[in-house]
Amino acid sequence: MDMWISEAQIPNAAMTYKIKETLVRRQTEFQDLAIVDSYELGRMLVLDGIVQTTIKDEFVYHEMISHIPLYTHSSPKKVLVVGGGDGGAIREILKHPTVEKAVLCEIDGAVIEECKKHLKEISCALDDPRCEVFVGDGIKYVHEHKNEFDVIIVDSTDPFGAAEGLFGGSFYKEIYQCLTEDGIFIAQTETPFYLPEVVKSVFNDARDVFPVTKLFMAHIPTYPGGYWSFTVGSKKYDPENPDFSGKVDIDGLKYYTKKIHSAAFTLPKYVEDLLK
């Protein structure tokens, strides 16, 4: 008998995948966690029935959420990732030679544990000496670390359940205070096609806090609609027009390029209209 999983994040649409086997399934303190091996996309991390990342297309999300802010900042030395227990953002961050320390703050230690066992290609940098792993509440962590980080990446699940507090104006004000005077923050901010009001709300909340706020898009096949938004809030730098002088080219990337960096901020009209 064929095994399939169906992700029904959107009320009236679903994405369905044929599965070879379930590698792990457990109820953690915070969520239902599964890692499965699929025929089309390889191993997949699934939290509360929602696909978070897959071996086949994870490079798009992790490269774009990491390299856009890190190439925008003049010299990022200390970076915080809130969420992101799979380790993919940490892997990309540590490719930048200026980075001296990357902190992963993940509320669910089981995600880190299982990804290190089953998604080693993604979690491979979590044991790097420049990486500090903190298992705990990201909101509390941000509140307790003022003026400390050059870049903060909010690599959260969707804005429901355990991750709901990681979206919205009050948290973005805390992030602003946690950043250095020229700091940058970025968050994944959902699909403008299926969840336009979420995208609009989160963008407006960030715009109320940060002097420079921009939204960009990337093509991620496993996310609903296949076209995903990210919101950047910056105290100083314009992420759409970064200064690349003195920046090294990172070998081995599969999606991000310096041309893609600026082009990603060119939005379809329906997304532009959404943000007005």
Per-domain residue ranges of the chain? 3-54, 58-275
Ranges of beta strands (E only) in the chain are 3-7, 15-27, 32-38, 42-47, 50-54, 78-83, 101-106, 131-135, 149-155, 179-188, 212-219, 227-234
Residues involved in catalysis:
155
Among 6-20, 35-49, 239-253, the minimum mean pLDDT is found in 6-20
**Strand 149-155 to strand 179-188: parallel, antiparallel, or no bridges (unpaired)?**
parallel
Using alpha carbons only, how large is the chain's radius of gyration in Å? 18
Does 162 have pLDDT greater than 60? Answer: no
Annotated binding site for S-methyl-5'-thioadenosine: 31, 106, 137-138
Binding-site positions read 31, 62, 86, 106, 137-138, 155-158
CA dihedral 228, 66, 168, 131 (to 10 degrees): 140
- CA-to-CA dists, residue 37 to 46, 125, 196, angstroms: 11, 22, 31
CA 109 to centroid of chain Cα atoms: 17
Binding annotation for spermidine: 62, 86, 155-158
* pLDDT at position 163: 47
Please tell me the CATH code under which domain 58-275 is placed: 3.40.50.150
pLDDT, tens digit, for every residue of 45-62? Answer: 999 999 999 999 999 999
Q: Answer yes or no: CATH 3.80.30.20 is held by domain 3-54.
A: no
Euclidean distance between CA atoms 1 and 146, whole angstroms: 54
What digits encode the pLDDT tens for the residues 244-266? 998 999 999 999 999 999 999 99
